[in-house]
Chain A
Amino acid sequence: MADGSSKQGSSRPAWLLFALPAGLLLAGAMIIPLLLTFWTSVAEPKAGLGNYAEFFASATYLRILWRTIWTAALVTLVCLLLGYPYAYLMTLVGRRTRMLLTVAVLVPFWTSAIVRIFGWMVLLQPSGLINRALALVGLGPFELLGNLTGTLIGMVQVMLPLMILPLYSTMGRIDRRLMVAACSLGATPSGAFRKVYLPLSRPGILAGSVIVFVSSLGFYLVPQMLGSPQQQLLSQLIFDQVSSLLNFGLGAAMAVILLAATLLVLAATSSLTRGSSHTGTISLSSSNGHPTLTGRRPLGLGIIALFVAAILVAPAIILVPLSFTAEASFVFPPKAWSVRWYEHFFTDGEWIGSLLASLKIALMSAIIATILGSLAALGIVRSRSRFTTPMLMVMLIPRVVPHVVLAVAVFAFFLVLGLVGKVSGFVIAHTALAIPLVVITMTAGLQMLDERLELAAASLGANRFRQILGVTAPLMLPSILTAAVFAFVTSFDEVIISLFLQSPFLRTLPVKMFSSIQDQIDPTIAAASTLIFLVATVTITVSLFATGGRHAARG
């Protein structure tokens, strides 16, 4: 029908020029530092594979590597066991409940890592809420902090959304009538679930497990703050080698090993996750569209879902009341209320200084990343050349490489360039980190945009510039806003690279929080956390309204 519409037109490589600025920034801020890390690992302190030999000869290091893999596997398993019923329930309930469940899943996304972890510290401490609740039923007290349990709880909370979202998107596409059909053919409900539903949801299980496992390999903050110093994971080892011991060669080798492990897992599973994307259905069957097809909702599912929702939300929420305590402790509930910790936050030069630094850096990073990333996405989508996929892969590097690896690579490179302790250093690193999110968001948006609208504008007399200004940009505004919010939050929350780039005169808010948790701990941190949570929530809510509002208003 649309024969010879411009869709099948040949590639237009000139469009790729749009991706050049973002590509150059990524090259300078991420790719060259990573390549230098490879080089360092075989060149320092002396040329050769000495660093790798040292790593693989050391029983301690190997134990840490093994522990890292084992912990990641455990996190993946727990996430799957908790996430599967949760995602399944999401497909069964009505629109309103599903909305609530979705919001609960998204809470960890917009709670800053440091805030989340601090929330867990408060909840899990020996006299914390959880131990006191257990005491009521005659259990405990348990050691929940400073050991594997703490690490596990913290990591599972962060990883649950990455498990639940792919599961849900797969399950949402499973035609529930298939279960009815299976039952009509003689299968018991549990048999139908096992033989039909479970196999059809396999793509989601695989995708979720791979993402969770790979991401879990690179955790630094959670084990550092909730785990035991005697049970280090690989990221912590790398961090220490570079940051405290300044052992760049060995640190680089370890970073390469972590990166290799990550890429190995991705490569090994990519064929598994790609080949099985069919879900055996033709339509996007809305699960609550047909009453008779709505599955039963066993009570057990609801209990698990409540438990999961509590894990997701609790550490973010707990800090809000605590920030209003009148005491200098974290006893919950507070015996008396006050705003003294907010006063302290806004009058203390260090706190307010770090907030301003964070806002400034996040704003600049968001603006630059949104512009460069949007241009890159436009170039990638429109060029349709054979470089499209490689370009997209390059853009995604900062998301695939473990954060600690990026941090040590950037640190070593920026030291040479004199960018450590400078606002420009922070902005460059954070922009590079945010570009992938902008590119993903904008690419998705641009692919949905009907290119014929631009052709229509052209046929009506609009030149290239007017087409983009009058048609493309307004239609893309929701995506642009979303991308900018993502970029802002990415920079505002970033901890690990910032830990390396900080100076006594330039600290971002999360870095300041990290260090004050380590030394003098008082409820100012709770006040700061609440403020961060508020900033993120307001930003995201406003952008949701701004993007969804116009359509909603027109019904």
Chain B
Amino acid sequence: MRHAAERGAHVRLAGVTRRFGDFDAVRDVDLDIAAGEFVTLLGPSGSGKTTTLNMVAGFIQPTAGDIEVDGRTIQALPPHKRDMGMVFQSYALFPHMTAEENVAFPLRERRRSAGDIAESVRRAFELVKLDGFEKRYPDQLSGGQQQRVALARAIVFEPRVLLMDEPLGALDRKLREWLQSEIKRLHRELGLTVIFVTHDQGEALALSDRVAVFNRGRIEQIGTPQELWTTPRTPFVAAFLGDSNLIRGVVADDGGLSSSSRTFRIAGQPGLAAGAAATLLVRPEFVQLARTRQQHTDPGANHLVGHVIDVTFLGSSYRLTVACSEIGTFLAAQTAASFEGIAEGDEVGIWWRAEHGVLLAGVDESVHHVGNRN
């Protein structure tokens, strides 16, 4: 990516807000996207991510704030002068044009010469591996093929920014995963700045350099996929990315978390004031299970007991749901290799090391208490 980084543009959103009537669809969004970076806007529907994308594209005017490309504001530019490629949710291919005519469209609008157009279109079809389908109409192409035509059309005029609005949403899983890797490859080869919108956390984690998590019109957190997964800043982010166990309570004197029934140990957390409302995150991947109620003496660990109410085989791993009398249902994950053959109804002991608990400030009523599955 680095070698081609000069092709991408630096995009900056500063205090961008969009109001519809008295409803803030997007509130005070700051986002600084480096040239050539792949940034995903992730969030549930209605969280403002698509509105944000549409403001970058120029389809919606911000109520307040500024959007800059390479340090120059683009507020006054109409969409057709912004030079950004866009892949729409349902592709928005022109049904009255062949695939080739669709891809040639932006070049024709730019009055390129016929020879130039033919060459660029050919290369674009090669790039998305769709050569041979040039003469087909959109309704003669499969969903995945349409998606790649849309992609070719969005990059053929060599824009410096590529916007993608849930481009894989309508495809089945296998195709989606393959296209994910294709999008990654194109990003690497072309060095574009990509802004990608999705509600699928797996897609966001797999594709992005950085992810901006949207909730109710605001960005909750921006970070690399690893940062968001290991050190989420809010319960919402913790629950939205990956499976999670969230325990509500208040910060104890020793820096742990006091829930209704007991206090959990947490190691090395930067201090939250004692008595503040907080949420403890434990990823199921860090939860250990033992069939027997053996007394575990690890002093740095938190222990619970319960019985297994569900075992789900996911291929490479098992997900176990444990009912604990103290805090409710709890999720644990075991790799298929380390699975110990625990069955539904088994009494088990659960524990996790203190350093695997993450203390989050605040309590979010909108997210489930424990056992969040994604």
Whether A458 lies near B79 (C-beta < 8 A) is yes
Per CB-CB distance, the 10 closest pairs between chain A and chain B, nearest first, are: A4-B51, A460-B106, A458-B79, A456-B92, A461-B109, A459-B86, A452-B92, A3-B46, A1-B45, A4-B25
Q: How far is the CB of A60 from chain B (nearest CB, A)?
A: 59
Which residues of chain B from 63 to 91 have a CB within 8 Å of any chain A CB? 78-86, 88-90
Residue in B18, B50, B78, B139 whose beta carbon sits within 8 Å of that of A5 in the complex: B50
Contacts of B83 in A (CB 8 A): 461
CB distance from A328 to the nearest CB of B (A): 54
Chain B residues, Cβ within 8 Å of A474: 96
When C-beta atoms are compared, the residue in chain A nearest to B150 turns out to be A456
* A49 contacts across to B, CB distance below 8 A: none
Scan A165-187; emit 1 where CB is below 8 A from any B CB, else 0. 00000000000000000000000
Shortest C-beta distance, B252 to chain A (Å), equals 40
Specify which chain B residues have a CB less than 8 angstroms from the CB of A8 in the assembled complex.
20
How far in angstroms is the closest Cβ of chain B from A168? 27
Name the prevailing secondary structure of the A interface residues. helix
Cβ < 8 Å to A, chain B residues 139-163: 139-140, 153-154, 157, 163
Inter-chain contact A462/B96, CB cutoff 8 Å: no
Instruction: Give A442-484 as 1s and 0s: 1 = Cβ < 8 Å from B's Cβ atoms.
Output: 0000000010110111111111001100110011000000000
- How far, in angstroms, from A550 to B95 measured CA to CA in the complex? 11
Complex interface: chain B residues within 8 A of A5 (CB): 50-51, 54
**Pairs across A and B, CB under 8 Å, 5 listed:** A456-B88, A459-B79, A461-B81, A461-B106, A461-B109
A458 and B59 within 8 A (CB): yes
Extra contacts besides A456-B86, A466-B80 (8): CB < 8 Å: A3-B50, A4-B48, A4-B52, A456-B92, A456-B93, A457-B94, A461-B80, A554-B137
Q: Mark A255-279, 1 if CB is under 8 A from B, else 0.
A: 0000000000000000000000000
Assess whether B57 is interfacial by the CB under 8 Å rule.
yes
Alpha-carbon distance A9/B18, docked complex (angstroms)? 10
**Is the CB–CB distance between B51 and A466 below 8 Å?**
no
Please indicate the chain A residues that have their CB under 8 angstroms from the CB of B153 in the complex. Answer: 460
From B79, B106, B137, B169, A1 is in contact (CB under 8 Å) with: B169
Q: Tell which of B20, B54, B169 touches A10, judged by Cβ atoms closer than 8 Å.
A: B20
A455 in contact with B60 given A1-B89, A10-B21 (CB within 8 Å): no
Most buried by B among A9, A461, A474, A475: A461
Q: For A470, list chain B residues within 8 Å (CB).
A: 105
Q: How far is the CB of A25 from chain B (nearest CB, A)?
A: 31
Does B140 contact A460, Cβ atoms closer than 8 Å?
no
Residue B323 CB within 8 A of the other chain: no
Taking beta carbons and an 8 Å cutoff, which residues of B are in contact with A?
A: 18, 20-21, 25-26, 45-52, 54, 57-60, 78-86, 88-90, 92-96, 105-106, 109-110, 137, 139-140, 153-154, 157, 163, 166, 169, 199
Q: Is A299 an interface residue (CB 8 A)?
A: no
CB distance from A438 to the nearest CB of B (A): 22
Q: Do B20 and A450 touch (CB < 8 A)?
A: no
Complex Cα distance, B45 from A3, in Å, reads 6
Establish whether residues B79 and A4, one from each chain, have CB atoms under 8 Å apart when the complex forms.
no
Taking CB atoms, residues of chain A closer than 8 Å to B94 are 453, 456-457, 471, 475
Q: Determine how close the nearest CB of chain B comes to the CB of A7; give it in whole angstroms.
A: 11
> Which residues from chain A contact B26 at a C-beta distance below 8 Å?
4
**A2 adjacent to B57 (CB under 8 Å):** no
Chain A residue at smallest Cβ distance from B82 = A459
Q: A4-B60, A462-B80 are in contact. Are A452 and B54 (CB under 8 A)?
A: no
**B185, chain A: closest CB distance, angstroms:** 23
Question: Measured between alpha carbons, how far is A458 from B58 in the docked complex, in Å?
Answer: 9
A292 located at the interface, meaning its Cβ lies under 8 Å from any Cβ of chain B in the complex: no
Task: Evaluate contact between B50 and A460: CB separation under 8 angstroms.
Answer: no
Q: How far is the CA of A1 from the CA of B48 in the complex (A)?
A: 10
Return B148 CB to nearest CB of chain A, in Å.
15
Note all chain A residues with C-beta closer than 8 A to B81. 461
Once bound together, how far apart are the Cα atoms of A466 and B106, in whole Å? 11
Instruction: Output the nearest chain A residue to B109 by Cβ-Cβ distance.
Output: A461
Q: How far is the CA of A130 from the CA of B211 in the complex (A)?
A: 80
> Nearest Cβ in chain B — how far from A393, in angstroms?
25
Q: Is A6 an interface residue (CB 8 A)?
A: yes
Instruction: Pick from B18, B57, B84, B109 the residue with the most CB of A within 10 Å.
Output: B109
**A554 to B83 alpha-carbon distance, docked (Å):** 33
A6 CA / B140 CA spacing, docked (Å): 28
Contact between chains at A461 and B92 (CB < 8 Å): no
Alpha-carbon gap, A292 to B25, bound state (A): 50
> How far apart sit A455 and B153, CA to CA, in the bound complex (Å)?
14
CB distance from B369 to the nearest CB of A (A): 26
Q: Is the CB of B88 within 8 A of A4?
A: no
User: Cβ of B90 and Cβ of A455 under 8 Å apart?
Assistant: no
- Shortest Cβ distance from A385 into chain B, in angstroms? 14
Question: Roughly how many angstroms separate A18 CA and B295 CA in the complex, as a whole number?
Answer: 80
Q: Which residue of A lies closest to B110 (CB)?
A: A461
Complex CA–CA separation, A478 to B166 (angstroms): 31
Verify A6–B109 contact, CB threshold 8 A.
Answer: no
Query: Considering residues A1, A4, A455, A460, which has the most beta carbons from chain B within 10 angstroms of its beta carbon?
Result: A460
Which A residues touch B59, using CB under 8 A? 6, 455, 458
B79–A9 CB distance below 8 A: no
Bound state CA distance, A397 and B340, in angstroms? 78
Chain B, residue nearest A450 (CB): B92
Contact B80 A458 (CB under 8 A): yes
CB distance from A548 to the nearest CB of B (A): 14
Does the CB pair B58–A475 fall under 8 Å? no
A478 to B179, CA, bound (A): 36
Q: Which of A3, A458, A475, A554 has the largest count of B CB atoms less than 10 A from its CB?
A: A3
Q: How far is the CA of A8 from the CA of B54 in the complex (A)?
A: 12
- Contact status A463-B78, CB under 8 Å: yes
- List, in ascending order, chain A residues with CB within 8 A of B90's CB: 450, 452
Q: Would you call A6 and B80 a contact (CB within 8 A)?
A: no
The residue on B at minimum CB distance from A470 is: B105
Residues on the A chain within 8 Å of B79, using CB? 455, 458-459
Closest to A471 in B: B94
Contacts of B109 in A (CB 8 A): 457, 460-462, 466
CA distance A197 to B98 in the complex (A): 45
| Residues on B with beta carbons closer than 8 Å to the beta carbon of A3 | 25, 45-51
How far apart are the CA atoms of A224 and B211 in the complex, in Å? Answer: 77
* Distance in angstroms between the alpha carbons of A208 and B142 in the assembled complex: 42
B78 close to A1 (CB less than 8 A) = no
CA distance A456 to B21 in the complex (A): 26
Distance in angstroms between the alpha carbons of A453 and B90 in the assembled complex: 10
Residues of A within 8 A of B60 (CB): 4, 6, 9
B92 touches A458 (CB 8 A): no
Report the separation of the CA atoms of residues A550 and B46 in the bound assembly, to the nearest whole angstrom. 39
Contact (Cβ within 8 A) A554 B96: no
CA distance A10 to B59 in the complex (A): 13
Query: Which residues of A are found within 8 Å of B58, using beta-carbon distances?
Result: 458-459
Residues of B within 8 A of A460 (CB): 80, 85-86, 105-106, 109, 153-154, 157
Q: Which residues of A contact B85 (CB under 8 A)?
A: 459-460
B166 & A1 in contact (Cβ 8 Å cutoff): yes
Distance in Å from the Cβ of A278 to the closest Cβ of chain B? 27
Q: How far is the CA of A289 from the CA of B109 in the complex (A)?
A: 45
Q: Which of A1-57 contact B (CB under 8 A)?
A: 1-6, 8-10
Q: A4-B18, A455-B59 are in contact. Are A475 and B95 (CB under 8 A)?
A: yes
With the chains together, A455 CA to B84 CA distance in Å? Answer: 12
How far is B79's CA from A4's CA once the two chains are assembled, in angstroms? 17
With A8-B20, A458-B78 known to touch, is A2 a contact of B89 (CB < 8 Å)? yes
B-side contacts of A9, CB under 8 Å: 20, 60
Bound Cα distance A36, B139 (Å): 54
Chain B minimum-CB-distance residue to A459:
B86
